[in-house]
Chains A and B, each alone.
Chain A
Amino acid sequence: MTHTRQAPPLVTHDAISVSIMWDRLVSIADEIVSTLMRTSFSTIVAESYDLTVAILDANGQLLCQGTKSLPVFMGTAPVTLQHFLTRYPPETLKPGDVLISNDPWIGTGHLFDINVMRPVFVEQEIVGYTMSITHLPDIGGLGFGASATEIYHEGLRIPIVKLFDGGVRNELVVEFIANNVRTPDQVLGDLFANVTCNEVGERMLLEFMQEYKLSSLEALSYSIRHYSERAMRSAIRIMEDGVYAHSIQIEGIDAPLTLSCVVKVSGDAVAISFDGTDPCVRQGINVPFCYTNAMVLYAIKCLTVPALPNNAGTLAPVAVSAPPGCLLAAEHPSPTGARHVIGHFVAPLIFGALADAAPALVQADSGMADLVTFQGRHPNGRAVAALYFASGGFGALENHDGLAVTPGPSNMAVVPTELWEALTGTMIEYKRLVPDSGGPGTARGGLGQELAIRNDTGSLMTVFFMGNRTEFPPAGLVGGEPGQLRRHQVNGETVHPKGQYHLSPGDRITLVEAGGGGFGKPGERSRALIRHDIAEGYVTPAGAARDYGFDGE
């Protein structure tokens, strides 16, 4: 934060007022989200919540965020706003201005996400800002994927610019965008949905201030941060002080990559650095720091105060740093389109690091979601381009078995078999849980699954895999064992998890999804739970003997 604070305002609202006004602000953010969802075209916004909305005070401090937003948007808005205000200082802004940018380094890590900001005025005074961020349907370039070797391949980079200047639309900017994307009507539709929702946000914020007779949001903002920070800090105190280093290997596109972190817990604060992490690669999987930071905040929040609304106070006790140019602090012009491929591993990396500091809180590794793109022709003649998601098992926690087939940290839902078959003309031959795939532990990892998809379209199909966990299994924690590895097969032959394959009619792919890691020593698992697992077929008798030394008694 570049703004220097004057002496903090006194807490002028009592605890009752704070809780009521705070709930109202979150409710306003949620209502802006619902306006955004109703007015945007793209299904990724409406169905995956690949969006967020933030309300910030006049100093740029985050007051609250929409409840339903993906982890990648944790705490990015205040940083983006500072960039906006550096370019256009507050005194130069006027009512009706709307600023936008999709710059990965000042926004949320890839060009697909558009950041839209509107200053909120009471008369000629800025009392706060609203911001919304959504994943656009297209941004030109090569399209969504990891194939770029430079950011220039990935599409249009919009600098910080006023889309509306005092309520007047900048047609040149609109034209620039329209000329650089594949589906201009959808992209502009979503862009203006963002504009509309910020307008609604301003109206509701002003009504709220009127109702509670507030001339500024600062005192309330201070109170909200105060209570949040206090809650966050006291939750951090539960973790044992110390310096915890952790390192994992993950699969890159063609060679393993190393991610490392050092987590320092001291009292009521946490500092995380990523020294030792491999440098960027020439593939679109590099992670700008803003995304890394968001994933760290997500991981820490899961461990501390999961139910607390996001705001500047919950972010304050966590400091994050990474060596510039490493995979987790990619610099221009490294491509970043599929940053999630690497970025999703930040959460399990942190959980692993904190296993000794807070064993009761951390989660063993999850099998994570698998993503396969299908291209071909439907028997009805239409072109098919469809994404299939299939989840591995969720990692176990202390006294809590991992859920079967549950994604994490991402949250895409499966396409039902019946919809998938109608959409693509392929056939899913079976889809079942894999016994013994959950990592053994006092708490067992969630089961993975196996499914087979057959090309029944009568035409050649191409599949693009984007799988992980085929060499490095989901690790167990605190004595727990790893879950089963992921495996991709074409006609029964194991193939490259990030490869591209052609399927003739009748060919099939088989996906075996990774199981979640276990938690705690398998030998300490309750016999009753093992018996139940055997009775329901989650663990085979042979698996129980091998993994748990269980002989049936």
Chain B
Amino acid sequence: MSHRVGIDIGGTFTDFALLDVSSDRIATHKRLTTPAAPASGVLEGLSDLLVQEQVPVEKVEAVIHGTTLITNAIIERKGARVGMITTAGFSDVLEMGNEHRYEMFDLRIAYPAPLVERSCRVEVKERIRYDGHVETALAQPEVKLAVRHLVEEKGIESLAVCFLHSYANPDHERAVRDIVRADYPELYVSISSEVFPDIREFSRWTTTCINAYTQPLLDRYLRDLEQGLFARQVRAPLFIMTSSGGTATPAVARSFPVRIMESGPAAGVLMSARHGEMLSIKNLLSFDMGGTTAKGALIIDGAANKRYELEVGRVHDFKPGSGLVAKIPAIDMIEIGYGGGSTSAIDARGLLAVGPDSAGAQPGPACYQQGGKRATLTDANLVLGYLDAASFLGGKFDLSLPDAEAAITKGVSEKLDLPLVRSAWGIHDVVNEGIARAFRIHASERGFDYRNSAIVAFGGSGPIHAVAVARKLRAPQVIFPVGAGVMSAFGLLASPLTFEVLQGQQVFLKQLTLETFVEVFDRLMSESSQALVGAGVASCDIEYRLRLDMRYSGQGHAIEVALPEHGSLVEVFPTIEERFAERYAGLYAAVDLETPVEITTWKVGAVGPLPFFPEGYKTWRSSGDMSQSRVTRSVYFNEHEDYIPCRVINRMSLRSGDRFEGPLIIEERESTVVIGPEWNVVVDKTLSLIATLSGI
């Protein structure tokens, strides 16, 4: 009987999931995150869970870990002091950016300050041309002086090496790294040709600087964690979740900390895909909503949609474009500024608006009685009867209905001259509409038809809103997996070892030979597999995902074209143009142009075997009395424009095959499922709830 543990550190809570691979139960545990010493909370929680479940430590065969450490370090600017060595004439690139405004009407927009201050960016003489030829040799003595200056006088702990066109020829950047290793072996070094070897200096260098900025703290954190695990007799290997939904070894994470940003939410999306697979549903919207934000993603044809871009640390009203953009393989998520703590206000129009401000955990919603006075979404959901004052978080935490009512009355009802319930519904429904809107735009920009797809809902608040959001999107089905509050920790358990590499290399399709095609992909496949082979995966168990970024010559942006997972490169080669045309027609209009097609970027992902994960699972132990209660409470449904008596069911009492008609409330310890009238619910064999709009 061996066990695998998933541990996900979030902003407020650290979640644990322990899978006994011989049963269908996943034990879970939740504790407060310990920001000052993050490793200690992880280690203590793990010990507590093992004791609670009576699992001997030697039975643990793998520990898989996701963390917000990197993202938080960027948002809170708590990373290392970083120096930068760059091509003469270009040290201002980091703060010149794209010379573009992300918002037309707001004259006071802001951009994040570069992670490397101007006085810590040193230029050295060197120049490589776009075709990789050396125009000016690297001035090695200048490099030595620059590094010495940065270390001795500026006190840097980490160095980013960023030269123009290094994706085409990495020699100069590598030479700088060699010098640093000889002169200052303790100094952390990130070189742009390794972190993200693709064209466009601003984004490559920004990504490299994020890597350099977070490398020392991740290294220290992993050292604490590894030592702590060792001291607790845990001999199982440790894996770190990445933004792309695959795991990596600690060695890879140490080299590329930028790749583990937002790894918790990525794991949640991965779990959505897994649920789709169990139910044989190929196209899904993954909807995760917690205390401060909601996150959405698309599952297309069974796989989480990905992109090579992730934005963090937005500095201006959470506006897209106001953060730092990292170019890393990542699940393509939208962040939507609504969570349980989102506060409501009357906006410039004189109308009701909710978010993106949040009451957070402190002071929290008014009903928490911790001093919060502004009406939040959670207050509205309590007034509407979706949440229960007594059973919130398994009854551990009493909510105050009078405080919620008072906050909404004062903040909304009195100002708009509307009844309390209308105001509460307004807060609730403004959020539903906002989430639906974000999904519509995200999906339609990617050529994905959200109508008639299913939604997987999780997170503390997701299951309250999912059915109403589905209604607005005309999505006829919503899936509520077990354990909505710890979905990311489950996702860690279901994630394979993965490593992705890319190479910017521009070539016209007409001029591409089979030899070059095979040579480039062979090299990238061998590079990407090293990280897996190093972790003990047999070569024959590795699968490769090959993709090309392609475009009509002259277009600014390329589209990603996936090559088939099976079939030899020789067979694939003649089909590339056709695949491009097909993808282009799917995303844009079908066109037949004379313009030549070109490849800009080559990508390979090496994926290890999928770990065992049970088809159906539950988080609770079976116990004797599991009869379904006949409790009802008064709940507001807009279809009735009133409160109506609504049945409330304990999720632990449900058995596969049970069927219900809405309206209905189903309570689990950390989340509440709200099923509107006109919806039916079936308990699937995996114990997921499947809600379907009647008459479809």
Contacts and interface: CB of A to CB of B under 8 A. Distances in A.
A296 B201 CA distance: 37
A58 interface: no
B104 A27 contact: no
A39 B352 contact: no
Given A38-B587, A431-B92, A418 B199 contact: yes
A55 to B, nearest CB: 15
Contacts of A302: 105-107
B565 interface: no
6 contacts: A15-B426, A185-B593, A196-B589, A230-B350, A400-B108, A411-B104
A431 B90 contact: yes
A434 B107 CA distance: 22
B107 A227 contact: no
Nearest to A380: B131
Given A16-B416, A16-B423, A536-B119, 7 more contacts: A26-B437, A27-B436, A41-B589, A407-B101, A416-B200, A422-B199, A431-B92
A421 B593 contact: no
Contact of B418 (A16, A68, A193, A230): A16
Given A31-B440, A432-B92, A43 B555 contact: yes
Contacts of A46: 556-557
Interface string A536-549: 11000000000000
B414 to A, nearest CB: 12
Contact of A429 (B89, B106, B474, B555): B89
Nearest to A44: B556
B309 to A, nearest CB: 15
Given A416-B201, A429-B89, A432-B89, A235 B433 contact: no
Contacts, number: 200
A356 B131 CA distance: 55
What 3 A-B pairs are tightest by C-beta distance, nearest first?
A430-B89, A16-B426, A306-B105
A18 B117 CA distance: 47
Contact of B90 (A26, A186, A417): A417
A174 interface: no
A406 interface: yes
B447 A22 contact: no
B348 A38 contact: no
A31 B441 contact: yes
A70 B416 CA distance: 34
Interface in A393-440: 397, 400, 403-408, 411-414, 416-419, 421-422, 427, 429-433
B33 interface: no
A71 B117 CA distance: 34
A10 to B, nearest CB: 16
A189 interface: yes
A31 B444 contact: yes
A186 B202 CA distance: 31
Given A19-B349, A19-B426, A418-B164, A43 B556 contact: yes
B119 A412 contact: no
B111 A403 contact: yes
Contact of A411 (B101, B110, B131, B347): B101
B684 to A, nearest CB: 29
Interface in B396-454: 416, 418, 422-423, 425-426, 429-430, 433-434, 436-437, 440-441, 444-445, 447
Contacts of B588: 38-41
Interface in A466-515: none
Contacts of B164: 417-418
B201 A418 contact: yes
A231 B350 contact: yes
A390 interface: yes
B101 A406 contact: yes
A16 B430 CA distance: 8
Interface in B459-515: 474, 506
B95 interface: yes
Give chain B's interface secondary structure class: loop
Given A189-B589, A418-B201, A535-B119, A391 B99 contact: yes
B130 A22 contact: no
B353 interface: yes
Contacts of A41: 588-589, 591, 593
A524 interface: no
Pick the most buried of B92, B347, B425: most chain A CB atoms within 10 A of its CB: B92
B100 A431 contact: no
B129 A421 contact: yes
Given A306-B106, A427-B129, A39 B589 contact: yes
Contacts of A40: 588-589
B520 to A, nearest CB: 18
B130 A421 contact: yes
B200 A16 contact: no
Interface string A185-196: 110010011001
A414 B108 contact: no
A27 B440 contact: yes
A235 B434 CA distance: 26
A413 B99 contact: yes
Interface in B563-591: 587-589, 591
Given A19-B430, A38-B445, A189-B589, A305 B348 contact: yes
B103 to A, nearest CB: 8
Contacts of B348: 231, 235, 305, 307-308
B425 A16 contact: yes
B98 interface: yes
A30 interface: yes
B211 interface: no
Contacts of B351: 15, 18-19, 22, 227
A504 to B, nearest CB: 19
Contacts of A298: 104-105
Contacts of A123: none
A414 B100 contact: yes
A539 B369 CA distance: 50
B91 interface: yes
A306 B107 contact: yes
Contacts of A407: 99-101
A381 to B, nearest CB: 12
Given A185-B593, A416-B202, A421-B130, A537 B118 contact: yes
A427 B135 CA distance: 10
A15 B90 contact: no
A214 B92 CA distance: 55
A152 to B, nearest CB: 30
A24 interface: yes
A71 B89 contact: no
B107 A430 contact: no
A528 interface: no
B630 to A, nearest CB: 34
A273 interface: no
Contacts of B349: 19, 227-228, 230-231, 308
